[in-house]
Amino acid sequence: MTTWTDTKKEKPTVDKPVWAASPNAVKCSYDTFLLHTDKDGQWRDEFGILFFRKIAFWKYANVPVCEGVC
């Protein structure tokens, strides 16, 4: 299992799925989202939509990738 990486220290490889942790001040904890970064280094969700919440930590996600007809 991979450990969490601070976004201030390192960014993930482009187009690889990651679990991203975003601070939630109301719950005093982190929310996690399945995201990836694009070639410009911006965070996007599984639909390719820009993700506007601040990401503090990330780790690679072990998810299957569909190539072809699923």
| Cα(30)–Cα(27) distance, integer angstroms | 8
- Whether the per-residue pLDDT at 66 is higher than 90: the answer is no
Residue type, 62: N
Q: Using the structure block, give the residue that is written with the tokens 């190539």.
A: 67
Torsion of CA 60, 14, 8, 54, to 10 degrees: -80
* pLDDT of the residue at 19: 95
* pLDDT of the residue at 20: 96
pLDDT tens-place string over residues 22-58: 999 999 999 999 999 999 999 999 899 999 999 999 9
| Cα(55)–Cα(64) distance, integer angstroms | 23
- Write the DSSP symbol of residue 2: P
Average pLDDT over residues 2-24: 92
* pLDDT of the residue at 67: 72
